[in-house]
Amino acid sequence: MFLARVEGSVVATKKDEALSGRKLLLVRPQLVDENDPAKFRPGKNTIVAVDSVGAGEGELVMFTQGSSARLAPNMKSAPVDAVVVGIVDSVDALGKVIYDAKIDDQS
């Protein structure tokens, strides 16, 4: 699994039938900063992921990719490569809380 920030949503009126009714999110991976492990740095790429948990813009989420994505509920027959599988409450790295959803202002 990976961490990402939800940056927006994707609307596709014409898509594979197995994707009908599924919410698509635009997410940017978040990496622990090598220079300052007390914070995240954004990844360079964005990913379109199917939302399976009701995440919203600005939230920090967990997502999975590849064959693991199709193991999420009701995804077995869907042509997906990334699925949001959790909304993050907090992250602790090297003994420090680097993210807390209750006080997040680290967009």
Domain range summary for the chain, segments of one domain joined by +: 2-100
Beta carbons within 8 Å of 103's beta carbon, 6+ residues apart = none
In whole angstroms, give the CA distance from residue 58 to residue 16: 27
Given this model, what pLDDT does residue 107 score? 46
- Token reading at 40: 């995240």
pLDDT at residue 56, as a whole number: 95
Q: Which residue ranges of the chain lie beneath pLDDT 70?
A: 70-75, 105-107
Global pTM exceeds 0.75: yes
Nearest 5°: phi and psi at 92?
-120, 125
pLDDT on residue 10: 96
- What top-level class would CATH report for the domain 2-100? mainly beta
pLDDT at 11: 96
